Amino acid sequence: MRALTILSVLPELLDTNGDAANARVLAQRARWAGFEATIVPVSSLDDLPSRVDAIVIGSGNDSDLVAARDLLAPLVNALRGWTTAGVPVLAVGTGWELLSWGVELADGSVVDGLGLVAGRAVPLAERATDDLVVESGFGRLVGFENHARGYVGAEASTLGRVLTGVGNGAKTEGLRMGSFLGTHLHGPVLARNPGLADHILSAAVTRAGGVYVRSERAAAVDAIADAATAVVVSSLSLAADA
């Protein structure tokens, strides 16, 4: 099997909550499983490699929304082609919002999005800054949220159901459209949720001609993540079958 190529998009600008580390989580889990993996930081078209197996986009500050959108704009056709081809994409926070139809700000202004995915970001009554727990097709997901906007227009394609926290609003969280996953979960999300990491990694490895099997080293690390999740769930008094 060929080596995996993992894109980290605008890692210097879209890493407010450590989300660029999601690329490192994928690469390390791949290496533990016996595969070669390279992370390619991308800030312009010139940085794009010829072949891509997974893409990670993090979150940034609102003060950088327009700058980040303008840097993402030349990349969007390549991103659209890769998502259409089934390349897994994880986008967090503002990185996800900027790929939607648009971002509505509290002052009434709008930052036009790039239209890669359905829906739009809309202001919340108050900023969401707390633990977020979500029931999803990848199991129970945990992390923290730190965002001033919810998300509407893609209710039929959410990542999961909110057990505690805000997420998109209306008790849903995230977006799942084909190989694209958008979320408000930070942590970074893949370090705290190895099942989600392995879903993305399995898709990437399969496209590269291999079969992904979680390694013993990953299983040992995952036990720590599972214990941390149990503590969060217990502290929030969530029933195991909620």
Does 184 participate in catalysis according to the annotation? no
* Active-site residue identified among 147, 184, 186, 199: 186
Helix axes 21-32, 216-235, angle to 10 degrees: 140
Ordered alpha helix ranges (H), 61-119: 65-72, 76-84, 94-97
Residue 234, Cβ neighbours under 10 Å: how many? 10
Instruction: Tell me which DSSP letter residue 126 carries.
Output: E
Q: Tokens 């001609």, residue? A: 209
β partners of residue 59: none
Q: Which of 142, 240, 121, 130 is nearest to 190 (CA)?
A: 142
127 is in an annotated binding site: yes
Q: Which of 141, 169, 167, 172 is nearest to 156 (CA)?
A: 172
Active-site residues, by number, are 186
Binding site: what residues are annotated?
Answer: 127
Binding site for substrate: what residues are annotated?
Answer: 127
